[in-house]
Structure 1
Amino acid sequence: MSLFGGTISKLENSIDYATLKNQTIANNIANVDTANYKAKKVSFKNVLNQQVDHTFQAKRTHPKHVSFDSTSLSKSPFRVVTDQSTSFNHNGNNVDIDKQMTELAENQIYYQALIDRINGKFNSLNTVIKGGR
């Protein structure tokens, strides 16, 4: 049983994701003029992990099927991948600055919403600890 019902840890994981995404986008923007630089993005390794309750049982009929055991689900659900498929500039660089700036703005809004939510959780806990005062 988790002291906070898992909400704080899920918010923490979401903040970690938003932080990694922000760093990745900033790195892409910094390398917009670097020859042969390929844009990177943060993606989820186990999207199903985010949507499925850990008590979900699935029968694996082949060793290459996705495992739903708790050991495979506890790994970090996101990773940085490089987009090798495109080239927008004559120098081999594929960073689309407009797309990166849009993603940065969206990620900043997402991050701020997470921070506001976790602050609300801590304020609620603070109120409970102080006895409603």
Structure 2
Amino acid sequence: MKLFSRTFTLLEQGLDYAATKQKVIANNIANADTPNYKAKDVRFKTELEQAMAPLEAYRTNPKHFPFKSPDTSNFLVTTRSDVIYNHNGNSVDIDKEMSDLAENQIYYNALIERLNGQLNTLKTVIKGGK
């Protein structure tokens, strides 16, 4: 959804991240009692570093800032295999998962509120400030 600024794109990418994280957390919670199941996590830092990589573009002056790539739609899902919490080889810490779930829900709600604000602003502009 490309409207007048990158705000909508960035909010959409944030919502994609939150949805992916929600699915991974739900999967971890569902497999909390599965023997030898290794908990998974969504890594954002790697994606952020890739997004900050310079975009190939022509700069007229070397003092100008380099262009950045905004594409962060694919998030890296990794397996946490360094820790075992249960005697059956399972690495799901249910308390951590529930905490991550609550944190992700707050993040998602904040993004939705921001998106609603952007859409209301756009609606006001379309109506001519009325």
Give the TM-score of the pair, scaled to structure 2. Answer: 0.81
Structure 1: distance between partners of 2:114 and 2:27: 27
Extract unaligned runs of 5+ from structure 1.
Answer: 58-67
| Per-residue Cα deviation, 1:56-79 (whole angstroms, up to 9, x for no partner) | 54xxxxxxxxxx985xx6363521
Contact persistence 1:37–1:94 (CA under 8 A)? yes
Structure 2: distance between partners of 1:51 and 1:69: 6
Name the stretch that deviates more: 38-47 or 86-95.
Answer: 38-47
Partner of 1:15: 15
Over the residues paired in the alignment, what is the CA RMSD in angstroms?
Answer: 2.4
Partner of 1:64: none
Q: 1:114 aligns with which of 99, 111, 116?
A: 111
Structure 1: distance between partners of 2:50 and 2:118: 24
Give the TM-score of the pair, scaled to structure 1. Answer: 0.79
Deviation >6 Å, runs of 4+: none
Extract unaligned runs of 5+ from structure 2.
Answer: 58-64
Query: Is 1:126 the equivalent of 2:126?
Result: no
Q: Paired residues, what number?
A: 120
Aligned residues with identical type, % of pairs: 54
